[in-house]
Amino acid sequence: MTTSASTIATDESPKVRLWRLAGRVRRARLPWVPITILASILICAAFAELIAPHDPRDIDILKKNIAPGETANHLLGTDILGRDILSRLIFGARTTVIISFVSLAAGAFVGTTLGVISGYKGGWIDALIMRGVDAALGFPTILVAMLIVVFLGAGTINIILAVTLTFWARFARMVRGDVLVIKTLDFVTLARITGVSTPVIMWRHIFPNVINTLTVVSSLLVGQIILLEASLGFLGLGLAPGDPAWGIMVAEGRSVILDVWWLSLFPGLAITIVVLAFNFFGDWLRDTLDPQLQSAQ
Amino acid sequence: MQEEPILKVENLQTYFFTTSGMIKAVDDISFSLWPGETLGIVGESGSGKSMTAWSILGLVPKPAGRIVGGRILYRGENLLEKSASQMREIRGRHICMVMQDPLTSLNPVFTVGDQIIETLKIDSSRTSGGHRERAVELLSSVQIPAPESRMEGFQHQMSGGMRQRVVGAIAISRSPQILIADEPTTSLDATIQLQYLKMLKDIQTQTGAAIIFITHDFGIVARMCDRVAVMYAGKMVEQAQVLQLFDSPAHPYTEALLKSVPDLDVDVDFLPSIEGQPPTLDDLPEGCAFAPRCPYVFEKCEEYPDEFTVEPEHTARCWRLGGAVV
Amino acid sequence: MQKYILARIGQGIFTLWALTVIVFLSVHLTGDPAIHLVPIEFATPEGLEIQRKKLGLDKPLIEQYGIFLKNVLQGDFGESITDGRPARDILASRLPATLQLAAAGMGLAILFGVPLGILSAVKRDSIFDRFAKIFAVFGMAAPQFWVAIILILLFSAVWKVLPAFGRGGPDSFILPSFVLAWSIMAGIMRLGRSSMLEILDSEYIKFARVKGLKEQFVLWKHALRNSLIPLLTFSGISLASVLNGAIVVEVVFAWPGIGRMLLDGVQQRNFPVVQAAVLASGFFYVSISLVIDILYAYIDPRIRFNQ
C-alpha cells in the first residue's frame, strides 16, 4: 500500500498548508449530492428541535400506525406508539452524528497517537503496538461491543467506547505506514541532527504530514462506524429503548413489519443514504487529496 | 542501400484524447528500417519514443490513445489496415519488443521456463517436452549459466541482468525480423549493461534481425547503432548515420544534447544544459516545437519546419538548413 | 516459507491467548465474579458463598487464571446461569448452524463476487460495470439487519416464496446467506475490479501481448492468477465481517446459531454462555485466518520460495 506522503510531505507552516489545501479543494469538482445530504444531516442534528414537526417521544396511542401520506401532519406516518416518524428520524440524526463523530474522533486520536509513536520509534514499541493492532483488527467488532455492553452496561458512553476500541487499530495502521515514509525525509533527519526532542519532532514535523491520510481514512471509515452503531442499536445493545435512534427504530418495526412496514423502512433508508453519502464523499476526498492512497480496509 | 526497407513508417500520428486535452504523443514521424541494421531512437522522456514502438506493435493504450494517421509498412503491407487477430500473429513472430524493467516484464507467479514455453507453444502446439529443450537452448544462447536449473525458477530468484536476458530470450524465441528494445539497460548496472548490449549484438548476428534501439543514452547509440533518429515532443527532428550525427549534428536540439554529455577527457568549468523545460504535450506551440528553447530561433520558426537534407542519409527539420527540400 | 508460517502460527496463538486474558479479566474486574458465573438458583447469599469456594474465587488471581485456562483448553466453559446446562453443550448444539450459514454466505460472496469483480475490470465502463458498481455500493452502505427485514417482507410475506425464519431445508438458507454475502461481495467486487485493473496495466501483461499471445489466454492465465492473491488476502480480512454479519442475520432470521446464543447471553448477562461463544468464535476466526494465510503463502511464489 503506497502513500503519497513522500510526494507531498513538507515542512511548511500550517498557514501555507491550509492555503494550498483550499486551493486544491476549490479547483476540484465538488460532489454536490453527497455534500447536500451530509449538510442536511448535520443541520438536522444541530437544529432538531426547530426542524422536527413533533416531539419524538410524544406518545399518542390514538394516533398509532398512521401510514405515510395519510395526513399532512405526519408525513412519514407514526409508529406503534403514535410517535411521529419524521420527527424521530430527525432526532435520530442527532444520535447518529454525535455517537459516530465522537467515536471517530476518539478512535482517530488514539489510533494516530499510537501510530505515530509506533512508526517513529520503531523497535520493540513498534512491535508491541503492532501486535495489538493485528489482534484488534482481527476482531469482529460486534463481539467487542457486546463484551463491553455486558460488563459495563448500555448507554451512549459505552457505545462510543465500544466503537472506538474497534476502530482505533485501523487508524493506527494507516498512520504508521505514513510515518514510516515521512521519517526518512530530510527535514526530519535535519531536526534530529540539530537535537530537537522526539515529542517535538512527532508533533511539529510528523503529525502535520499525517493529517492528509487521516482525513481520507476518517471519511472512508465514518460509514462503517455509522453501520456499527446502528447494528448495536438494532440488537438492543444501544441506548435506552425509547430513544430515537435509527437502529432502534428498525428493531421496533420488525415485529410489525407486515402492517407497519414504514416503521422499519424509513430509518434503514436513512442509514443507507447517509452511509452512501459519506462513502462517496470519502472517495472524492481521497481522489482529490491523496490519489495514491489505496482504500482503507 | 539497394534492398527494400523491412519497416517503413510514413507520417505516423498517434494522439491521446484525455479530459485535459488532446496530446499528440507521436506527431507526423517518418522513418525506415533496413533488414539487419540497428536504428537508434533518441530523445528525452515524453518525446514519443516508446509510443512509436507501441504504435508499430498495435498496442496503443485504448480508449484514450488512437493512431489517427499515417502508414506503417512492414514488408510492404500496411499494419494499420490489419485486423486485431492479424496483428496478434505479427507480434512476437515478426516484430517483438523488450521493455525497460525486466522485473515487471515477467509474471511473478509463473516459472521462467513456463513463460518461455508458452511463447514457443504459440507456433506449434507440441507437448511441452519438445519445447523444453528449445527453451533451455534459448537460455544458453543468451549466456545464462546452468540453464536447466533456471527453468523451474522464478524471476525474483534472479539478478536484474539475468532477468533481462531471459526477457531477451523470450523476445527472440520466435525469431522475429524486428526487435524493438525500449531502454532495456536503464535499470541495469553499468557493467551489466555492457554485457547485455553485447548479447543483443550477438543475437542480431545470429538471427539477422533488425533492431530499433530506444534510448536516451548517446553512449549506447555510439556502441550499438548504425543509424539514429532524434525525437522531440513527438516529432522526429533529425535522422542520420551514427557518425554523421556525432560529427555534424544539424538540428539545434541534437547539438545541445550532444554538448550536454560530459567528455571525460576534458576539464570544464560548467556543464552546459538545455535552457527551459520540455513542453507539455497538450500545449505545443505552432511551428517548431523546440523554438522556445532554441538558441538560433528566428521568425520562420513559427512555421512547422520542413525536412531538409544535410548530406546523403542525413536529414533534419530545421529552417536554418534552408536549401533543397527532401 | 517456513519462517512465515511459523510466525503466523505464533501470531494466532498469541491472539487466542490475549483473548482468554481479556475474557478472564472482564469477569474478574467488573464487580463480583460470582454473580456472573453462578446459576440463578444458587444466587442466594449462602449459595453464592458456596459457589465462590467451588469456583475457587478466593484464590489469587493468577492461580484463578491458570484454572480458567486449563478449563477452557478442556472445553469447560462453566454452566449457563439461566438453566444450569454446561455452556459447552449449548455451544455444540449451536455451532453447526453458524458454520453452515457462514460457509454459505462466504461461498456465495466469493462465487459471485470474484467473477463479477473481474468482469467489471475487463469490461470497464460498460453497462455491466455500472450495474455491478451500483450493486456493490449499496451492499456496502445498506445495514444488513435492514436488508434482511425488507427481504423477508418481500419474499416471505408479500410474495410468499421463501421462509421467513428458522433453519430448515435448503430454501431457508437462501435469504440469510444472501444478506450475509451481499456486503462482503461488495468488498470483493471492488477489490477484484481494482486489482484486475492494476494487473491489466502491468508490464508483464503488456509483454504477454507483445509476445503474441491471444488476448483470452492472457486474461485467463496471467491476469486471473495474479488477481487471486489479493482476493485471497481480502477473504481473510472479511472473515471478521462474516462473523459480525452472522450475529445480526441470525437474530433477524431466528437462526439457531452461536450469534444468537451470544446475544441472548449478553442480554441475560449469562456470562458462561457469552464466554463460550466468544472463545469459540475467536478460535474459529483465528484458525481460518491462519489457513488462509498459509494458502496464500503457498500460492504466491515470492513467499513460497524465499531463502
Tens-digit pLDDT profile for residues C248-269: 898 888 888 888 888 888 777 7
Out of C138, C149, C274, the one facing A257 most closely (by C-beta) is C149
Chain C touches chain A, with at least 3 Cβ pairs below 8 Å, answer yes
* Contact list, A237 vs chain C (CB under 8 Å): 266
Q: Does residue C89 fall inside a structural domain? A: no
Lookup: cell for B71: 502508414
Contact B315, B239 (CB under 8 A): yes
In this prediction, residue B9 carries a pLDDT of: 92
Residue C90 has pLDDT above 50, yes or no: yes
Chain-chain contact of C301 with B154 (C-beta, under 8 angstroms): yes
* Three-state SS at B91: strand
Q: Does residue C31 fall inside a structural domain? A: no
Residue A17 has pLDDT above 60, yes or no: yes
Q: Does residue C16 fall inside a structural domain? A: no
Average pLDDT over residues C214-219: 84
Q: Distance between CA C136 and CA C116 in Å, rounded?
A: 10
A173 closest CA partner among A204, A143, A217? A217
Terminal Cα distance for chain B, rounded: 17
In this prediction, residue B288 carries a pLDDT of: 83
In this prediction, residue B12 carries a pLDDT of: 92
The verdict on C225 touching B (C-beta cutoff 8 Å) is yes
- Nearest-10 crossing angle of helices C203-211, B160-172: 30
> What is the distance in angstroms between the Cα of C54 and the nearest Cα belonging to chain A?
23
The verdict on C124 touching B (C-beta cutoff 8 Å) is no
The verdict on C92 touching A (C-beta cutoff 8 Å) is no
Residue A108 has pLDDT above 60, yes or no: yes
Q: Distance between CA A159 and CA B106 in Å, rounded?
A: 51
Residue A46 has pLDDT above 50, yes or no: yes
* Three-state SS at B56: helix
* Contact list, B171 vs chain C (CB under 8 Å): 210-211
Pairing of strands B21-33, B308-311: unpaired
List the pLDDT tens digit at each of the 326 positions of chain B.
567 889 999 999 999 888 777 888 898 899 999 999 999 999 888 788 989 999 999 888 877 888 888 999 998 889 888 888 888 888 888 999 988 887 788 888 888 888 888 888 888 766 656 788 888 888 888 888 888 888 888 888 888 888 888 998 898 888 899 999 998 888 788 888 888 888 888 889 888 899 999 998 888 898 889 999 999 888 899 999 999 888 888 888 888 888 877 666 667 666 667 777 777 776 777 788 888 888 888 888 888 888 888 888 888 888 888 754 44
Chain-chain contact of C226 with B119 (C-beta, under 8 angstroms): no
Contact B116, B177 (CB under 8 A): no
The verdict on C16 touching A (C-beta cutoff 8 Å) is no
The verdict on C243 touching A (C-beta cutoff 8 Å) is yes
Chain-chain contact of A150 with C143 (C-beta, under 8 angstroms): no
Residue C97 has pLDDT above 70, yes or no: yes
Q: Which residues pair with B96 in a beta bridge?
A: B179
Contact A59, A82 (CB under 8 A): yes
Chain A touches chain B, with at least 3 Cβ pairs below 8 Å, answer no
Contact B250, B316 (CB under 8 A): yes
Contact A4, A213 (CB under 8 A): no
In this prediction, residue A275 carries a pLDDT of: 92
Average pLDDT over residues C60-84: 78
In this prediction, residue C41 carries a pLDDT of: 66
Domain that holds residue C159: 96-270
b/e map of B272-306 (b: 16 or more CB within 10 Å)?
Answer: eebeeebbebeeeeebbbbbebbeebeeebeeebe
> What is the distance in angstroms between the Cα of B264 and the nearest Cα belonging to chain C?
36
Q: Which residue of C has its CA nearest to A275?
A: C141
Quick one: residue B297, left, alpha or beta (phi over 0 = left, psi -120 to 50 = alpha)?
beta
Residue A4 has pLDDT above 50, yes or no: no
Q: Distance between CA C267 and CA A237 in Å, rounded?
A: 8
Chain-chain contact of C244 with A231 (C-beta, under 8 angstroms): yes
Average pLDDT over residues C23-43: 69
Sorted by where each starts, the structural domains of chain A and their CATH numbers stand as 99-292 (1.10.3720.10)
The verdict on C215 touching B (C-beta cutoff 8 Å) is yes
Average pLDDT over residues C60-77: 79
In this prediction, residue A71 carries a pLDDT of: 75
Contact B267, B284 (CB under 8 A): no
In this prediction, residue B129 carries a pLDDT of: 65
Q: Which residue of C has its CA nearest to A138?
A: C240
Average pLDDT over residues C87-92: 83
> What is the distance in angstroms between the Cα of B306 and the nearest Cα belonging to chain C?
34
Contact B48, B70 (CB under 8 A): no
The verdict on C273 touching A (C-beta cutoff 8 Å) is no
Residue C154's pLDDT band, with cuts at 50, 70 and 90, is: confident
Q: Does residue C23 fall inside a structural domain? A: no
Chain-chain contact of B167 with C209 (C-beta, under 8 angstroms): no
Residues in chain B: 326
Residue A295 has pLDDT above 80, yes or no: no
> What is the distance in angstroms between the Cα of C207 and the nearest Cα belonging to chain B?
6
In this prediction, residue B7 carries a pLDDT of: 92
Q: Does residue C287 fall inside a structural domain? A: no
Stretch 211-240 of chain C: residues touching chain A, C-beta under 8 Å: 234, 237, 240
Please name the amino acid found at residue A30. L
Please name the amino acid found at residue B259. K
> What is the distance in angstroms between the Cα of B164 and the nearest Cα belonging to chain C?
13
In this prediction, residue B239 carries a pLDDT of: 92
In this prediction, residue B323 carries a pLDDT of: 54
Q: Does residue C205 fall inside a structural domain? A: yes
The verdict on C210 touching B (C-beta cutoff 8 Å) is yes
Which CATH number belongs to the domain containing residue C109 in this structure?
Answer: 1.10.3720.10
> What is the distance in angstroms between the Cα of C36 and the nearest Cα belonging to chain A?
9
Percent of chain A with pLDDT over 90: 6
Summarize pLDDT for A210-232 with one digit per residue, the tens.
887 788 888 888 888 888 888 88
In this prediction, residue C306 carries a pLDDT of: 60
Q: Which residue of C has its CA nearest to B175?
A: C211
Instruction: Give every CB contact of residue A38 below 8 A, 6+ residues apart in sequence.
Output: A274, A277, A278, A281
Listing DSSP states for chain C in one string gives -HHHHHHHHHHHHHHHHHHHHHHHHHHHHSS-HHHHHS-GGG-SHHHHHHHHHHHTTTS-HHHHHHHHHHHHHHT---B-TTT--BHHHHHHHHHHHHHHHHHHHHHHHHHHHHHHHHHHHHTTTSHHHHHHHHHHHHHHHS-HHHHHHHHIIIIIIIS--S-SSS--STHHHHHHHHHHHHHHHHHHHHHHHHHHHHHHTSHHHHHHHHHT--HHHIIIIIIHHHHHHHHHHHHHHHHHHHHHHHHHHHHHTT--SHHHHHHHHHHTT-HHHHHHHHHHHHHHHHHHHHHHHHHHHHH-HHHHT--
User: Which residue matches cell numbers 456493490?
Assistant: C136
* Contact list, C263 vs chain A (CB under 8 Å): 146, 235
Hey, how many other C-beta atoms are within 10 angstroms of the C-beta on B170? 29
* Three-state SS at A58: coil
Q: Does residue C76 fall inside a structural domain? A: no
Residue A253 has pLDDT above 70, yes or no: yes
Report the number of distinct structural domains present in chain C: 1
In this prediction, residue A296 carries a pLDDT of: 36
A34 cis-preceded (ω within 30 degrees of 0):
no
Q: Which residue of C has its CA nearest to A249?
A: C146
Chain-chain contact of B92 with C210 (C-beta, under 8 angstroms): yes
Residue A294's pLDDT band, with cuts at 50, 70 and 90, is: very low
Average pLDDT over residues C273-286: 83
Percent of chain C with pLDDT over 90: 2
The verdict on C70 touching B (C-beta cutoff 8 Å) is no
The verdict on C208 touching B (C-beta cutoff 8 Å) is yes
ipTM above 0.85, yes or no: no
Q: Does residue C133 fall inside a structural domain? A: yes
Q: Distance between CA C144 and CA C146 in Å, rounded?
A: 5
Distances (CA, A) of B166 to B153, C202, C208: 12, 18, 14
Neighbours, chain B (3 or more CB pairs < 8 A) = C
Lookup: cell for A197: 526532542
- Nearest-10 crossing angle of helices A141-152, C2-29: 20
